[in-house]
């Protein structure tokens, strides 16, 4: 499973780390796009998709449109993290059964 991680910086100087699975990020983007009648397939603006992923990862209570106006920028970690989709102690169990 791929996870996207990085740091978001806000206009007030705060910064926060984020991490979110690619599946969750895309699901949230598609919901937002449908609600707002935006293209969500190949026409997705990468910056908007990234901001949506960060917003979801941070579990922000404030609405997306208001929240994104408080963001100064973000730094993504160089490569998406590869995460084993099973728990390590369960992996051996699953392989042996």
Per-residue pLDDT of 12-37, as tens digits, reads 999 999 999 988 988 888 888 888 88
Q: Any idea where the domains of the chain sit in the sequence?
A: 2-96
- pLDDT-based confidence at residue 40 (cuts at 50, 70, 90): low
Q: Determine the Cα–Cα distance for residues 6 and 66; give it in Å rounded to an integer.
A: 21
What pLDDT score does 87 carry?
Answer: 52
Q: Determine the Cα–Cα distance for residues 14 and 37; give it in Å rounded to an integer.
A: 32
Question: Is 3 in contact with 19 (CB distance < 8 Å)?
Answer: yes
Closest CA to 58 of 87, 89, 27, 16: 16
Question: For the whole model, what pTM was predicted?
Answer: 0.71
């Amino acid at each position: 499973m791929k996870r996207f991680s990085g740091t978001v910086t806000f206009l007030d100087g705060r910064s926060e780390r984020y991490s979110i699975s690619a599946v969750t990020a895309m699901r949230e983007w598609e919901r937002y796009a449908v609600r707002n009648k935006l293209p969500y397939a190949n026409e997705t603006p990468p910056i908007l998709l990234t901001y949506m992923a960060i917003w979801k990862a941070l579990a922000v209570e404030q609405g997306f449109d208001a929240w994104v106006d408080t963001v100064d920028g973000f730094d993504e970690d160089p490569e998406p993290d590869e995460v084993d989709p099973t728990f390590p102690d369960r992996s051996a169990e699953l392989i042996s059964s």
